[in-house]
Amino acid sequence: MSLEEYRSFHRRSIEEPEAFWSEQAAAVDWNRRWDEVRDYSRPPFVRWFAGGETNLCHNAVDRHLQERGEQTALAYVSTETGERAEYTYRELYAEVNAFAAALRGLGVGKGERVIIYMPMMPEAIFAMLACVRLGAIHSVVFGGFAAHNLAKRIDDAKPKVLITADAGMRGGSVVRYKPLVDEALDASRHPPEKVVVCHRGIDEEMPVDEGRDLDYSGLRQEHAGEEIPAEWVESSHPSYILYTSGTTGPPKGVQRDTGGYAVALVSSMKHIFASEPGETMFTASDIGWVVGHSYIVYAPLMYGMTSIVYEGLPIRPDPGIWWKIVEDYGVNTMFTSPTAIRALRKQDPKYMREHNTSSLRNLFLAGEPLDEPTSRWASESLGVTVRDNYWQTETGWPILSSLLPGLEDEPVVPGSAGFAVYGYDLKLVHEESGEEVGPGERGVLAIKPPLPPGCMSTVWGDDKRFVDTYFSDFPGDELYSTFDWATRREDGRYFIMGRSDDVINVAGHRLGTREIEEAISDHPDVAEAAAVGVKDEYKGQVVAAYVVPKESAPAGEELEESIKEIVAQRIGRIARPEIVRFVGALPKTRSGKLLRRSIQALAEGRETGDLSTIEDPAALEEIKAATPQSR
């Protein structure tokens, strides 16, 4: 019966979307009710709750003051600096209002962009909420990104203000943020007028531009006690831009709306994460990624929960730190990545037994495919159900989940990310014909539009790129492509098999192959390069680079190390190639397309399949010769 209950719930969301989503929207505060639940007059663009007016900050903070004013909203733990802090909803209201007043004084208003380049710290979340309070559009850039990448995002978003910190820390090592910001601003064509800097006391030698840089603490003190009314914005008004890797050219800014996002997230806390207002959620991620936006900041706060904000690694000061946090704060719902759990699995199991984790009901994992041994170990060690789910930066919330209404008692099948989430009309289609494939057959996972609430509304500043990138893969049908291979069982469970496009997934971080290749090709001793993702037990994938050096360059350890470093400098340490192999040529089709899938297959010791379109078969032999496991 439970599966039938799920199917009925899902079917209604597809067949009666207006009624279904109108009911879900009742959990969100609206200043003005919508004129139309769904406006799909310009496919594939969709406007949810068109004409309705709401505000994310009001829903995340203001509306809880009467009932939950003294409840902890944010609990901050940093094992890098040793700091801990708690903010009630009333204290959060005061912090956000003070900073909103400061931003307004700097000319930030409705529609203006603000870039946030900060470590995991409460002030970063105050900044996000202050932006949406004003109707401004924030763009959080992950603090691990290099100056070159930050500059690209600055030029695309054209921000009024940039907010940063003097430094962050990672594994005990200092990461100096401000010099990276200064370098990015020097390289950008559209630098912001002002830079707000949060001084943590980590980098005492931080450079200061007296005419441009402003002190966060000083601004906060200047505007303490001020109250800024929430700017009610139309439902389709952009809430934020979040950049994702994928191709060459300008970065691709995922644009999110306001009303649809609020409705999707609040409903997901009830229907997917099985949580209750007043409980505690610990999402071990970073606000630089979509998981942090949705499930550290907006969803738990809008739902009236306590959200844990953690700065640090899962194994410092010891591998029991996460479980200590669960014990200390009575965490009920936890969300992280399979990569993190694999890292903990390598540690002494005694750390799992040292802390009382009985408050924890569910552990949700997403970011890359979850293997059965990792799932079983976590479930048995913690005594909780491990729930897989699958989604993307573009969707903002899960596409697949193993916990939905009606699935509470269904057995979890390791390796499966679960069933289609309500609102998603999923199709599994042949990569070329676009025809649906049957149970057990491999296909590309696609979504029949209109996309449900919460998904991206367009690519920032480029509607054409939105259509060309996501809705042009399959002939005769405007299906949204996830670019992921999958199979589906008869019962409706999906199994994700990996990327069908040129994106590498390292520990849940999506990296564009072409972006990495461009960085390598800028090396003075490199003629050409191909980057592929190679399976890794702990990270899901690692970057492998096959490099054609210039004739004058000796292909040795020195060149290998400098290639790795140029990628780390241009993109970030997360993109640093694990493997560099030197070859004389790269395999391409007769039209000049690089055969990355064939290179990847050889790198992983698999068969390459049909190579009838290859221009020079000898180039493939070069790859084989350079790959030890292929010999």
Contacts of 244 (CB under 8 A, 6+ apart): 251, 252, 254, 393, 394, 510
Q: Are residues 413 and 536 in the same domain?
A: no
pLDDT at residue 61 in the model: 98
Angle at Cα 360 formed by Cα 354 and Cα 363, nearest 5°? 105
Phi, psi (rounded to 5 degrees) for 626: -85, -10
Among 423, 443, 463, give the residue marking a domain's end.
443
pLDDT tens digits for range 163-195:
999 999 988 889 999 999 999 999 999 999 999
Supply the range of the domain harboring residue 579: 503-630
The number of folded domains in the chain is: 2
Q: Are residues 107 and 195 in the same domain?
A: yes
Q: What is the CATH number of the domain that holds 586?
A: 3.30.300.30
Whether 97 is covered by a domain: the verdict is yes
Among 394, 426, 443, give the residue marking a domain's end.
443
Whole-structure pTM value = 0.85
pLDDT tens digits for range 416-464:
999 999 999 999 998 777 889 999 888 899 999 999 999 999 999 999 9
Give CA 11 to chain center in angstroms.
28
Q: Are residues 92 and 182 in the same domain?
A: yes
Whether 470 is covered by a domain: the verdict is no
pLDDT tens digits for range 52-98:
999 999 999 999 999 999 999 999 999 999 999 999 999 999 999 99
pLDDT at residue 276 in the model: 97
Q: Are residues 518 and 435 in the same domain?
A: no
Whether 481 is covered by a domain: the verdict is no
Q: What is the CATH number of the domain that holds 287?
A: 3.40.50.12780
Among 397, 420, 443, give the residue marking a domain's end.
443
Whether 356 is covered by a domain: the verdict is yes
How is residue 411 written in tokens? 């057995």
Q: Are residues 123 and 227 in the same domain?
A: yes
Whether 545 is covered by a domain: the verdict is yes
Q: Are residues 419 and 517 in the same domain?
A: no
Q: Are residues 407 and 527 in the same domain?
A: no
pLDDT at residue 245 in the model: 62
Alpha-carbon distance of 104 to 421, in angstroms, equals 39
pLDDT at residue 433 in the model: 79
Q: From residue 312, how far is each of 92, 242, 389 by CA, in Å? A: 22, 22, 24
Q: Are 297 and 127 in contact (CB under 8 A)?
A: no
Whether 374 is covered by a domain: the verdict is yes
Whether 283 is covered by a domain: the verdict is yes
Q: Are residues 415 and 519 in the same domain?
A: no
Q: Are residues 398 and 547 in the same domain?
A: no
